[in-house]
Amino acid sequence: MIFGNLAHIDDILPYVGPSIAKALQSIKKTDFELWADGEYEMDGRNLFARVNSYTTEPKEQRRPEKHFAYVDLQLMIIGSEAIGYCPLAKGMEVIEDKKTESDIVFYDKAIKENFVTLRAGDFAIFFPWEAHRPNCNCGDIALPVKKVVVKIKAE
């Protein structure tokens, strides 16, 4: 997992591969606050964005998930949410497999889970070797958020 803020993208660019660099450069110059909810291609299916508005939920109601073909870059536009993350580990069982149709599987639990809070302008990048649990409340408070998830084709 990589955590950052739009203000520091130039500091991160020398340390990432070309696909992630392209995604970071795209989010730096794009005002997603003006975009309606939906899916938008940025470089065909190699790089595309999903803009979503929703209300966060208690972490117990959210399931850890993992992707195979894509890296997730999750950028908070409005509001804040907590996202859990952990490396995949023995004992995490797949409870829903949508790998073929949607590039996602859901797990029964996370092991040694950490949390990061995304506020407006913050982003987190999640890789195929780790699970993440997005859309969680910060503490006990459900908040309305607008977030963009940029899907980066795994190299």
**For the segment 27-62, what is each residue's pLDDT rounded down to a tens digit?**
999 999 999 999 999 999 999 999 999 999 999 999
Q: How many domains does the chain fold into?
A: 1
The region that residue 33 occupies, defined by phi over 0 for left and psi between -120 and 50 for alpha, beta otherwise, is alpha
- Answer for the pair 81, 132: CB distance below 8 angstroms, yes or no: no
Closest CA relative to residue 133, chosen from 155, 104, 154, 153: 104
**pLDDT tens readout for residues 64-113:** 999 999 999 999 999 999 999 999 999 999 999 999 999 999 999 999 99
Q: What's the domain range around 145?
A: 2-153
What's residue 155's pLDDT? 76
Give dist(CA 97, CA 87) in Å, integer.
18
The pLDDT of residue 147: 98
In the chain, the amino acid numbered 69 is A
Sign of CA pseudo-dihedral 134, 139, 142, 148? negative
* Residues 20 and 152 sit within 8 Å (Cβ to Cβ): yes
Token pair for 141: 């408070």
Task: Say which residue the tokens 């606050």 belong to.
Answer: 33
CATH number of domain containing 107: 2.60.120.370
Q: What is the pTM of this model?
A: 0.95
Token output for 125:
């990048």
Q: How far apart are CA 53 and CA 36, in angstroms?
A: 9
Q: How far apart are CA 70 and CA 150, in angstroms?
A: 9
Query: Beta strand pairing status for 2-5 and 38-43?
Result: unpaired
Looking at residue 116, its pLDDT comes to 98
Residue 26 dihedral angles phi and psi, to the nearest 5°: -65, -45
